[in-house]
Amino acid sequence: MKTTSRLLIGVSCIAAAMTAPAFAQDATAEADDSASSSEIVVTGSRGQGRTVISSPTPIDVIGGEDLEKLGGGMQLRDALTQLVPSFQSTTVGSSSFNSLTRPAGLRGLSGVHVLVLVNGKRRHNSSIIDFNSGATSQGGNPVDLDLIPSSAIERIEVLRDGASAQYGSDAIAGVINVILKTNDSGGRASIEAGQRYGRDGSGSDGETISASVSHGFAIGDGGSFTLSVEGKKANAAVRNTDVTGALYYPLPGGAPDPRELTANRRTYQGGLPYVKDVKVAQTLVLPLGNVEFYSDGTFGYRDARVGQAGRRPNSNQNILEIYPDGFTPFYTLKETDFQFTGGLRGETSGWNIDLSSTYGRNYAENGADNTLNASLGPSSPTEFKTFSSAFDQWTNNLDLTRRVELGGEAALQVSMGAEYRYESYVTKPLDVDSYRAGGYFYPTGPLAGRPAQVGAQGAIVVTPEDAADVNRNIWAGYVDLALDVSPRFLVTAAGRFEHFDDSSGSVFSGKVSARYELTDWLALRGAFSNGFRAPSLAQQDFAQTSTSINLVGGVYIPVLTKIVKTNSAVAQALGAEPLKPEKSKNYSLGFTLTPAAGLSLSVDAYQIDLDNRITLTGLLSGAGIRNILVANGFSGDQSVRFFTNAVDTRTRGIDVVGTYAFDIGSAGRLRTSVGFNYNDTDIKKIADNPPELAGLGLTLFDRRTQGWFTEGPKTKLILGANFESGPFMINVKETRYDKFRSLDNNAANDQSFGAKWITDLEVSYGVTEKLRVAAGAYNIFDVYPDRTTVANTIGLAPYGAGPFGQYGGYYYGRISLDF
């Protein structure tokens, strides 16, 4: 803890010296017009709203204006990474699913441990799961934040504390509550264009153009309707190296084919995908006598294509008659997503009552093009729709709350409610030819007599035996109490019972928290809770087949990989057991300081013990696994993974947020900020190998997989400043991402990557009161992660998978108009 103490003291000194701007703020200066510590938030407390500074647990508030100032064509999860120190999104390239629905999480946990709300109502999950990113969210299907249009957002409230007792399953690391605009007049339109710097003389790439418009309308007597629409088109950004080794068959006599000298060796096309998307959001508030009808909804459509590793012409993954020079397959996705909420709220007999129903659905059609199924021979198609996935969620809530005065200065806020939720997860195979074994054997050449590989290359394939069709019902009830013992002392308690009608069973969770003001400028706060996360339907029933690129023995190679259902015969043969719910215990303790006008600082330490953590096993392969599979009547030519309750982890950390806003005489106004997170995860226990794997010299949860949990960056520091003078505005941010390591099952192949500083800058000018132009750059100095030392024979990007991506700088311009 000595290192942690030094870091904490250093950051506290910085906060006191310079402190806060347009950046996520747990407590912002009361003198700051844009976001003050007296701002009312609704997340973390029911009924009576509380200010960010008076909350017993840490809450960050991000305004819609703050999202726009980031620029750079950023998606919502990237914006949260930029503005919330303990939130991290990883930019992944050429990982099919993960190139689009990228891993992200709060306080060192994954996206599946963060509950997402929209206007206080549970958001549905994606149907796309994370299984190939090398991240701690492996195997989850979290909410896809990027499908919520940023132009529709009034603010985002991020509760950084366990809240399962208040909001239910998934809220182990915290809650993200997206509040949509409800204005009854006025609006804003903007258009932005930008591109990446490029690398290795390849010229710029990643060209992106986006546009949005949002407008509010008055409806009836005191009602409002707000509509927001935005769209984006982004070209791919590729960072690759040359493929090494022979591409073609040698000539008779063994001489190399002369085409080796002129062949295109940049066959790897993985990276940031080509994407087109459209997103829409609406909110409606309509008074109806003594009650109010409200609704909100979002719709999103995404069309994407991302390259994979090239297939050599002289491999059993290719047919020379179709691709004489080899080929690069592309993963394709067409995705539709929507959610709609309708409800009534009003007051009767002293109780505020809210009755609502929310339905959400995510549907994805997965495929591949510029590819083939080599086992079909020269007649193979070159484009496939491989499978579809759908996640549906229907949530119904009844919430009641009232404030009871207890005499003197004491008061009790009583809240209670019930919830019914239905969830469904379905995957369906589509083109039979994408998985069909055609039985083609090479008739001539070095591969004569050998079988071609089965399955569409560069694709995620679901066979009929992999298909999923599962659903469940969930019932829950809760009580949430907040006792204002005095104006200086607040105590809260919550309890929740939740029942799942599948194998997850029933769970009770509770939480207590308190806040005490020692002085007008110093307050202590702390909380304890237990939480849970039921195994997702996707974790219980998702299965697929693919040829993926995996690090084996310190070298990247194509591997035929199957993820099998935990209850499948293959998994059972390898000792798989039914999944159990994850259980957590959360502890937090901190303080807030507001020692002077415009200056505030919050420090919160936390510990999260998470048991029965669900993840994918490592790749189970080798002679021992082959023997088990063959003995049970299965093919031995595959590497197998399945979901399991693999580990118990302990995560400890500290969040620091400081802000300082002040006038610089007649020159203008300066807002400065500092945000810091220290986060360290240790593995307390690894599940024992099942008897079926005894004596094979491997573990379900291998060393490489363990490193994904323990070896990531431990600190993130964000320094920001925003200067306004008349029509001019300058926004600058400096972010330090800590060093990290990548482990291999052989320690000799471990890699270390150094810490990096990333600088972002935007300058804008108000041409008129309504029109503003801006220009800026993300990662203005074009910083990249350190280069990897892994033997790279297939042309992958030569950089480590850093937390800020492998794609360098991005510059942009934007025009916005208020009307």
What pLDDT score was predicted for residue 34? 37
- pLDDT, residue 44, reads 67
* pLDDT at site 94: 52
Q: Does the structure show a pLDDT above 70 at 532?
A: yes
> In b/e form, how buried is each residue of 106-121, taking b as 16+ CB within 10 angstroms?
bbbbbbbbbbbbbbbb
Give the angle 783-787-793 at the CA atoms, nearest 5°.
Answer: 135
Amino acid in position 17: A
Note the pLDDT tens digit of each residue in 702-730.
888 888 889 989 999 999 999 999 999 99
**Mean predicted confidence (pLDDT) in 401-411:** 91
What are the tokens at 760? 């972002």
Segment 754-765 mean pLDDT? 96
Distances in whole angstroms, Cα of residue 252 to Cα of each of 320, 325, 445: 17, 18, 10
| Range from 136-150, 275-289, 513-527, 801-815 carrying the lowest mean pLDDT | 136-150
**Alpha-carbon distances, residue 9 vs 12, 652, 656 (angstroms):** 5, 17, 10
Structure tokens at 812: 């942009």
Kindly state the percentage of the chain with pLDDT values over 70. 89
Q: How confident is the model at residue 10 (pLDDT cuts 50, 70, 90)?
A: very low
pLDDT at residue 35 greater than cutoff 70: no
User: Across residues 98-126, what is the average pLDDT?
Assistant: 87
Mean of the per-residue pLDDT values of the chain? 87
Above 80 in pLDDT, residue 52?
no
Tokens of 754: 């150094």
- Which residues contact residue 369 at a Cβ distance below 8 angstroms, ignoring those fewer than 6 apart? 305, 329, 330, 332, 382, 383, 384
Q: Are 177 and 157 in contact (CB under 8 A)?
A: yes
C-alpha separations of 483 from 39, 521, 526, 530, 610 in Å: 21, 21, 15, 20, 29
Cα distances from 381 to residues 431, 433, 567, in angstroms, run 10, 8, 33
pLDDT bucket at 102, cuts 50 / 70 / 90: low
pLDDT at 11: 35
For 642-669, what is the mean pLDDT? 92
Helix or strand holding residue 2 (H, E)? helix 2-17
